C-alpha cells in the first residue's frame, strides 16, 4: 500500500518557489484587469469605448486598472498628436501572450461554473447537507 510521505513532498520553501505564481492574484485578482484584457483582444480601444462593455465600471476604476496593466507592460497607452483621435489602449506583445492561458482558464470556468454554484448552494443550505 502507498504510504503518504510525512512532509517531504512539500519543501519548506514552497512559498518562495511559488512566489511568481503569487503574482497572479497580485495582477489579475482584481475585478477588472482580466476583463479589460479580453476587451482589447480585437485591437486598440479608446477609454470611453472600454466603458461600454464594462458598463458598470467607474472612470476611476478603469483608469486604475489601465494604469496597472500599463505598469506591468501588458497594455500600451498612446495619446495621439491630434486630440480628436483620443487616447488608445492596446495589448502589448506580452499582454497578447496572456490571451491563450486566459482562454484555458475561462474554458474551465465555462465548463464547470454550474458545478461551482451547485456546490455553494449545497454548502449554504443546511437541509441539503444532512439529507434525511
Partner DNA sequence: CAGAATCCGTTAAGATACTG
Partner DNA sequence: CAGTATCTTAACGGATTCTG
Per-residue binding letters, 27-46, with a copy of itself (x by CB under 8 A) = xxxxx--xx--xx--xxxx-
Least separation, in Å, of the C-beta of 10 and DNA? 13
4 binds DNA (CB under 7 A): no
Query: Are 129 and 109 in contact, with CB atoms under 8 Å apart?
Result: no
Which candidate, 95, 96, 101, 40, places its Cα nearest to that of 71? 95
DSSP secondary structure code for residue 5 in this structure: P
- H helices present in 72-98, as ranges: 93-97
25 binds DNA (CB under 7 A): yes
| Phi, psi for 36 (deg, rounded to 5) | -65, -45
DSSP secondary structure code for residue 85 in this structure: G
| Binding residues for a copy of itself (CB under 8 A) | 4, 7, 9-15, 18, 20-25, 27-31, 34-35, 38-39, 42-45, 49, 52-56, 70-74, 94, 97-98, 100-102, 104-110, 112-113, 115-116, 118-120, 122-124
- Binding residues for DNA, rule: CB under 7 A, are 25, 30-32, 46-49, 56-61, 63-64, 66-67, 77, 86-89
Amino acid at each position: 500500500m502507498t504510504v503518504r510521505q510525512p512532509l517531504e513532498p512539500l519543501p519548506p520553501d514552497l512559498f518562495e518557489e511559488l512566489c511568481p505564481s503569487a503574482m497572479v492574484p497580485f495582477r489579475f485578482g482584481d475585478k477588472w484587469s482580466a476583463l479589460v484584457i479580453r476587451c482589447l483582444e480585437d485591437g486598440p480601444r479608446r477609454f470611453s469605448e472600454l466603458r461600454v462593455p464594462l458598463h458598470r465600471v467607474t472612470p476611476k476604476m478603469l483608469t486604475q486598472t489601465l494604469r496597472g496593466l500599463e505598469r506591468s507592460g501588458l497594455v500600451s497607452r498612446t495619446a495621439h498628436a491630434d486630440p480628436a483621435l483620443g487616447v488608445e489602449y492596446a495589448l502589448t506583445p506580452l499582454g497578447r501572450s496572456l490571451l491563450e492561458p486566459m482562454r484555458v482558464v475561462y474554458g474551465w470556468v465555462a465548463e464547470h461554473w454550474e458545478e461551482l454554484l451547485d456546490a455553494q448552494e449545497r454548502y449554504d443550505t443546511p437541509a441539503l447537507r444532512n439529507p434525511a
